[in-house]
Structure 1
Amino acid sequence: MPVKDVYAPMTWRLRCSAALLAAAIGGATAAWTDRADAASEASSESETVLPAQTVPAADGPPVSAVPDLSALRTALAEFHCAELDVAVGADQRVAISGLTAGDTDPDSLALLAQDLLTGQRAAVEVERASPALCEPLTLIGQLRSANAGLATPLSIDLKGSTGILFEGGQTLMFDVAAPDFPVYLQVDYFTSDGDVIHLLPNPLEISGRVESGAIRRLGERGAGGRFWTVGPPYGHELIVVIASPTPLFAAPRPEAEAAASYLPALKQALDSAAPATVATARFVKTRAP
Structure 2
Amino acid sequence: MNDAFAPTLAPTRWRHRCAAALLAVAIGMTAWPVHATTASEAEPPADSETTPAPALPAPPDPPRPAVPDLSGLRTALAEFQCAELEVAVGTDQRVAISGLSAGDTDPDSLALLAQDYVTGQRAAVDVERASPALCEPLTLIGALRTSNAGLAAPLAIRLKGGTGTVLDGGQELVFDVTAPDFPAHLQVDYFTSDGDVVHLLPNPLEISGRVEAGAVRRLGERGAGGRFWSIGPPYGHELIVVIASPTPLFPSPRPEAEPASSYLPALKQALDGAAPTTVATARFLKTRAP
Decide: shared fold, TM above 0.5: yes
Quote the offset at 1:192 in angstroms.
2.1
What is the match of residue 222 of structure 1? 223
Equivalent-residue separation in structure 2 for 1:197 and 1:286 (angstroms): 15
1:67 maps to 2:75: no
What amino acid maps onto 2:236 in structure 1? G
In 2, Cα distance between equivalents of 1:74 and 1:209: 31
Deviations 1:12-34 (A, max 9, x none): xxxxxxxxxxxxxxxxxxxxxxx
Does the Cα contact within 8 Å between 2:164 and 2:284 map onto a contact in 1?
A: no
8 Å CA contact 2:164, 2:286 repeated in 1: no
Query: How do 1:185-224 and structure 2 match up within 5 A?
Result: 185-224=186-225
Corresponding residue number in structure 2 for 1:233: 234
1:13-52 matches, within 5 Å, as none
Give the TM-score of the pair, scaled to structure 2. Answer: 0.78
Measure how far apart 1:161 and its partner are: 7.2
Q: Is the 8 A contact 1:219 1:225 kept in 2?
A: yes
* 1:49 aligned residue: none
CA distance in 2, matches of 1:161, 1:142: 23
Q: Which runs of 5+ in 1 are unaligned?
A: 1-57
Would you tell me which structure has more strand in proportion to its own residues? Answer: 1
Where do 5+ consecutive residues of structure 2 fail to align?
A: 1-58
Runs of 4+ in 1 over 6 A off after TM superposition: none
* 1:179 maps to amino acid: P
Match of 1:177 in 2: 178
Whose radius of gyration is greater, 1 or 2? Answer: 2
Matching residue of 1:273: 274
Q: Which residue of 1 aligns with 2:117?
A: 116
Q: Is the 8 A contact 1:144 1:278 kept in 2?
A: yes
Equivalent position SS for 1:263: helix
Q: Relative contact order (C-alpha < 8 Å, sep 6+): which is higher?
A: 1
Amino acid at match of 1:110: A
- Equivalent residue, structure 2, for 1:79: 80
Residue 85 of structure 1 aligns to which amino acid in structure 2? E
Please list the CA deviations of residues 152-195 of structure 1 after superposition, one character each: whole Å capped at 9, or x if unmatched.
00000013678411111110110000011100000001112211
TM-score relative to the length of structure 1: 0.78
Equivalent in the alignment of 1:138: 139
Alignment: residue pair count: 232
Say whether the 8 Å CA contact 1:99–1:126 is kept in structure 2. yes
Query: Cα deviation per residue 1:216-246 (whole Å; 9 max; x = unaligned)?
Result: 0000001110000012221110000000000
Contact 1:160 1:173 in 2 (8 A): no
Aligned partner letter, 2:175:
F
Decide whether the 8 Å contact of 1:183 with 1:244 is kept in 2.
yes
Correspondence for 1:6: none
SS in 2 for 1:78: coil
Deviations 1:230-271 (A, max 9, x none): 122211100000000000000110001111111010000000
The offset of 1:73, in angstroms, is 0.2
What's the offset of the Cα at 1:120? 2.9
CA 1:93–1:254: 2 relative to 1, 3 Å = same
